[in-house]
Amino acid sequence: MTFSADKWFDAQAAQRNAFLERHGCAADGAVLMGRDCATRRYWRVAQDGKNKGGDTNGRLGSAVLMESLPDHHDHALAGHKLSDFIRIAAYLKANDIAVPDIYAADEAQGFVLIEDFGDCAVRRRYETLQDTSLYEQAVETAAQLNTLSPSADLLLPDYYDSHVHRGRIRVVDWYMPAVQRRAVTQNDRDSYLQVWDEIEAGLPSCPTGFLHVDFHTDNLMWRGDGVPFGVLDFQGAMRGPVMYDVVNLLEDARYYMPRATRDALRAQYIAKMEGLADPDILQDWYRVLGTQFHCRVLGQFIRIAVMTGRRDYLRHLPVLQRYMDEALEDPLLAPLRAWFADQHIDFKSGADVDPEDVRNYIGAQAF
């Protein structure tokens, strides 16, 4: 049976309402703001400034309740722990990153009450104004994050040991079965990963730093001109190659950014990294990490549709295919382009994905 996070959340309504009431919020006025591709939902709630638990956050107006599957839940996802959100928020705030204040938390039940940064995500404002300076400010925010040097006691995972890096296999495990209507073999998987190993082995190492890991304009909140963007959804942070976050920003599946704009913003970011590595090295790693990112997300969106029944992310596949097709023009990725050609995978073609049909071709080894 397919697990439904929404049904699980709905069954926790009494606990959610009790948590809100304990912390000075009107449960009956809570408004569901939305959810993300992880197992989380968000509610805007009114505050009376008087927390019944005995502490006072001193704020009137509204707050946001983030409800999530608790860390111990069988369906909780790697990189989405509430305990990580709370711990990393404290670190970022101490380093002058604009993250929400945390008013109250119940990790065992999956509730965190946080500061309300409003409704204006940077992407929404950009779509309205077409103001590239918003992306320029986002690039500055990425550089500010990536040049942090967290100590070992922050316990950040290493990117190369993570589910994110491992996820580059998802284009094989989920996308290939979807477009070819066949099960993939272990040889398919091994030969694909070998190509990536060879490409990376030919490059000097990339400088490392703090990675947000989900750095895009829906997770950046515009709070007024001249005010730093509010940064959200950072609980999956890692230590890893610095070019990863700017890839997320400039090649987001939700929006196709023209090449010339990407090139200018990437150059702005690389200039901020001056002294860490030769610009050509950073450029090469941008292309490697960006393409691995698309390989992961192409498969991940299909995986979500198959595993949860949610098809809404499938609408982003054409943008990802376009980014992949452009990326494979880079001579650096010639071995990968040849591998996909041998597999008769053409990213110029659309993907008509039927999740129920795809289910028939997914192997037990699929990640």
pLDDT tens for the chain, 367 residues long, are 567 778 888 898 999 999 999 999 988 889 998 876 567 899 999 987 543 333 333 344 899 999 988 877 777 666 678 889 999 999 999 999 999 999 999 999 999 999 999 999 999 999 999 999 999 999 999 999 999 999 999 999 999 999 999 999 999 999 999 999 999 999 999 999 999 999 999 999 999 999 999 999 999 999 999 999 999 999 999 999 999 999 999 999 999 999 999 999 999 999 999 888 999 999 999 999 999 999 999 999 999 999 988 899 999 999 999 999 999 999 999 999 999 999 999 999 877 899 999 999 999 999 9
Angle, CA of 276, 278 and 282, to the nearest 5°: 80
DSSP 192-221: HHHHHHHHHHTSPPPPEEEE-SS-STTSEE
Measured CA to CA, the distance from residue 175 to residue 253 in angstroms comes to 15
Q: Is 300 in contact with 329 (CB distance < 8 Å)?
A: no
Q: Which residues pair with residue 41 across a beta bridge?
A: 35, 67
Give the pLDDT of residue 78: 63
The continuous run of DSSP H or E covering 238 comes out as strand 238-241
Measured CA to CA, the distance from residue 217 to residue 232 in angstroms comes to 10
Give the pLDDT of residue 173: 98
Give the pLDDT of residue 38: 60
Length of the chain (residues): 367
Please name the residue that has the structure tokens 């200039």. 271
Give the pLDDT of residue 56: 34
Name residues whose C-beta falls within 8 Å of residue 357's C-beta, 6 or more positions apart in sequence. Answer: 181
Give the pLDDT of residue 23: 93
Measured CA to CA, the distance from residue 305 to residue 36 in angstroms comes to 14
Give the pLDDT of residue 69: 87
Give the pLDDT of residue 227: 95
Give the pLDDT of residue 58: 36
Q: Are strands 220-221 and 230-231 parallel, antiparallel or unpaired?
A: antiparallel
